[in-house]
Structure 1
Amino acid sequence: MQKHIVFLESNLTGSGYEAMAAARAAGHHVTFLTRDVNLYTAPGHEKLDPAWLDNVVTCDTNDPDSVVATVKNLDRPADALLAVGEWHMICAAEAGRALGLPGPSPDGVRAARDKSRTRQLCAEAGVPVPRFVRVTTPQEAHRTGLPHPCVVKPLDDAGSNGVRLCATHEESAAHVRTILADTHNERGQRKIPAALVEEYIDGPEVSVEILVYDGTPTVVALTWKELSSPPYFFETGHHVPADLDPESAERCARVATDSLRAVGFDMGVAHVELRLATDGPRLIEINCRPAGDRITYLVALATGVNLCEELVRMHVEPWTPPAITTRSAAAIAFLPAGPGEVRAVRGADRARLVEGVTDVSLYVNAGDHSRPQLNNTARHAHAIAVGPTGRQAHARAREALAELRVETSLEPHSGKAVRP
């Protein structure tokens, strides 16, 4: 039976678009609420396809009351209100609750969005977390008692915005000052006026991709995350499944599911990030939405489970966990953006011929203006590949990117830049 599904904005890294496409493929009527639809057609990221949508409605998507009023005034009643991007998870949960629609507890979503609240609740529940201190002034960064280097980050940003490894008390204080001066995020929402100073866990990073329904989590996959070198933590690629022995994988899954119970996230898809310390996994953050960076697509290639399809399905019909199968490993690698006006893009045809490559997507064309990478969203392209193992798939994706060349007015930019 056709349902009416309303999407509240989207991220720019894949999963929001996948959810809209999944709703459309299932035969549902799809409405998109946004402040500015032009954001989704700008260069530098994947583009929104109007074919996924029946209706685009402009409203103040940062205001739950505005969203509620807009949904009530649509031509047909809504059966579900979904947000897939980080910025609008709280608003969607609050508006959905006010409309009497299925969705996660707003309290659980708020706890997940505030990294200091996440840390506090998880520590109280016995979930292993880095040592941390919430600070509201630069001076407090001198009195945390944490060893350096340490990580300083905003409480409620996303995409690795503002996350930095600081070597001294002075660096920590200076970065706290920078975070506090940045009062609004990229979607115009006021940020929590505080910062998190936390212990640096010097180990590999993985994420756990989880479906949650009626408070019960189902682990679908573990993702290995490739990161840039400190002091920043930009994500340069991912592969599924993560390269872990069964015992380590089970420990990661347990930490992730325990963390969701601790914060009270009870419905939807969760992307839980962990660092692997020498004594086991530590929780880094809970994202109460599907992973971006096309990780959802990698999971589908590797396990047969489409997380975005499941997210839509659990909001409009009785839901049971899907069957999880073992398929080829899958990986994605990104070409970080270089500065200047794009003069030429070459090599895409060669990149698509690399063994195992299933997708090469360019985010820019000649004439577009580009900026250097400041977070996870500033990129020129990606390549996706499959292989016998995650590492082999990732090597194929990087090989494909090495065929690309994006020339800008300031510097030529090659896919070889993504190599660690």
Structure 2
Amino acid sequence: MTKDHLDAAPSDAQKPLLLLVGSGGQVWREYMLRAMATRYRLHLLAPEPPTWQAPYIVAHSSVNTLDVEAMIQVAKGSAESFAGALTYEETRVESAAALATALGLRTSPVEAVRACRDKFAGRELMKAAGVPQAESIAVADFAEARQAAERIGYPVVVKPRALSASNGVMLAPDADSLEAAYQDAGSIWFDEVPTYERSILVEEYLDGPEISVEAVCRDGVVTALFVARKRLGYAPGFEEVGHLVEAADPLLSDPELLKVLQDSHTALGLTDTVTHTELRLTSTGPRIVEINARVGGDRIPYLGGLATGVEIGLVAADLAAGAVPETTASWERAAAVRFLYPEHDLTVDSIDVDRSALPAEVDDVQLLVGPGRELRLPPKDHVRCRYALVVAVGSNEQECEAVLGRAAAAVTVHGTPLT
């Protein structure tokens, strides 16, 4: 483990110093660091030396960010004290909470954060508190999955207990489709994901559109920042192919939704964190799909910043440092992201972007893969088969969708079909 010296410019010397546990990928999280660095100095804890992160940080320590004791030693060995510690990486939320707790910094209890990572443990806490959600049964094998599905009643959703981004989440409309859904849910796993004896969940299917809510929870009080309307595809999976955020979304003032949001956070024991909550707007009202003790992925918080002016990187940093975050919108617009998928499985040869054909309302275009990458459509693979993303800004949903359609047509993938 090595630690680099602080290298803050004199004009930045008075900025509070934060510990940032991990940084994520540049395409997905650079906007977070850019916002944080306007008000805070950042000491990055990460195993690898910084590359793209370098302009936004003042120090780096090479450390295993799942090793809480090692991170505590880094913090205690610093010549300066830290105002806060935070992360936005799903696999680091628990260790970051443990680090902040050990240093006496503002955070949610480790047990509450762990209940967000373990979707079944979270379900049990919310069930005990009467929070409206999907019925859920954790199973260890297919025989138990079949019994659970019969008890809940078809259709059911089969999902991994600890993954994110809808990876491995499959719909089983009937008994004949259950085994394939179970196999798909169990075939996807990633390093650093907790393992459980009962690692698959069989859940009640919730009708209605799916949304997510970015929120800040301070001293246990939840404030909704913005709502994202999900675009789903590739049934029977639930691939998230796009998102839309409108600053004036009426759900932000819907008393029933806000009550469910507050009650769910209270049931889990969350006190101080930014959260990404997924819900279904069912025929019987909003019901919880899951809660994550971090900001959302898929550029959703970035869309929120474009639509409202609320920089969630600053919200998270202010919260960690003990300040009261600014959550009031600066403007009212709409912003949307669309992820581009190949028409069939292929190995990428090249991707062309006709920038002359991009509308002025396009905020960003990012290529997500390079030549040689194999792209296999869901359910063979999931978010890894996206080859690009496009982001648009407009005054409403219709404007954004029109811009995204024209932008998507300007990005072309060329490749060799896979057999």
- The amino acid that maps onto 2:130 is G
Query: Is 2:144 the partner of 1:140?
Result: yes
Query: Is 2:408 the partner of 1:408?
Result: no
TM-score by length of 1: 0.86
Query: Residue 247 of structure 2 contacts residue 308 of structure 2 at CA under 8 Å; is this kept in 1?
Result: no
SS in 2 for 1:6: strand
Give the aligned partner of residue 399 of structure 1. Answer: 406
> Judging changes above 3 Å, is the alpha-carbon distance between structure 1 residues 89 and 53 closer, same or farther for their aligned structure 2 residues?
same
SS in 1 for 2:315: helix
Aligned-residue identity in percent:
29
> Judging changes above 3 Å, is the alpha-carbon distance between structure 1 residues 351 and 233 closer, same or farther for their aligned structure 2 residues?
farther
SS in 1 for 2:304: helix
Query: Is 2:92 the partner of 1:100?
Result: no
Give the aligned partner of residue 344 of structure 1. Answer: 350
Query: Is 2:312 the partner of 1:312?
Result: no
> Judging changes above 3 Å, is the alpha-carbon distance between structure 1 residues 262 and 394 closer, same or farther for their aligned structure 2 residues?
farther
Q: Name the CA distance, whole Å, in 1 between partners of 2:391 and 2:142.
A: 42
Give the aligned partner of residue 130 of structure 2. Answer: 126
Give the aligned partner of residue 172 of structure 2. Answer: 166
1:36 offset after TM fit, Å? 4.2
Query: Is 2:194 the partner of 1:190?
Result: yes
Query: Residue 14 of structure 1 contacts residue 293 of structure 1 at CA under 8 Å; is this kept in 2?
Result: no
Pick one of 24, 33, 38 that aligns with 2:37.
Answer: 24
Give the aligned partner of residue 7 of structure 1. Answer: 20
> Judging changes above 3 Å, is the alpha-carbon distance between structure 1 residues 377 and 326 closer, same or farther for their aligned structure 2 residues?
farther
Query: Residue 45 of structure 2 contacts residue 63 of structure 2 at CA under 8 Å; is this kept in 1?
Result: yes
Pick one of 214, 217, 222 that aligns with 1:217.
Answer: 222
1:329 offset after TM fit, Å? 0.9
Give the aligned partner of residue 360 of structure 1. Answer: 365
Unpaired segments of 5 or more residues in structure 1? 42-47, 412-420
Q: Name the CA distance, whole Å, in 2 between partners of 1:364 and 1:391.
A: 29
Query: Is 2:45 the partner of 1:33?
Result: yes
Pick one of 259, 262, 268 that aligns with 1:257.
Answer: 262
Greater mean alpha carbon deviation, residues 17-26 or residues 202-211 = 17-26
Q: Name the CA distance, whole Å, in 2 between partners of 1:298 and 1:274.
A: 18
- The amino acid that maps onto 1:88 is R
- The amino acid that maps onto 2:44 is F
1:178 offset after TM fit, Å? 6.1
- The amino acid that maps onto 1:165 is L
- The amino acid that maps onto 1:400 is A
1:278 offset after TM fit, Å? 1.5
1:175 offset after TM fit, Å? 4.7
Give the aligned partner of residue 416 of structure 1. Answer: none
Q: Name the CA distance, whole Å, in 1 between partners of 2:93 and 2:312.
A: 17
Query: Is 2:400 the partner of 1:387?
Result: no
Query: Is 2:158 the partner of 1:152?
Result: yes
Query: Residue 310 of structure 2 contacts residue 326 of structure 2 at CA under 8 Å; is this kept in 1?
Result: no
SS in 1 for 2:37: helix
> 1:57-136, aligned counterparts within 5 Å?
57-74=61-78, 76-136=80-140
Query: Residue 11 of structure 1 contacts residue 85 of structure 1 at CA under 8 Å; is this kept in 2?
Result: yes
Aligned CA-pair RMSD: 2.7
> Judging changes above 3 Å, is the alpha-carbon distance between structure 1 residues 132 and 79 closer, same or farther for their aligned structure 2 residues?
same
> Judging changes above 3 Å, is the alpha-carbon distance between structure 1 residues 17 and 268 closer, same or farther for their aligned structure 2 residues?
farther
TM-score by length of 2: 0.86
Q: Name the CA distance, whole Å, in 1 between partners of 2:17 and 2:372.
A: 36
Pick one of 302, 305, 315 that aligns with 1:300.
Answer: 305
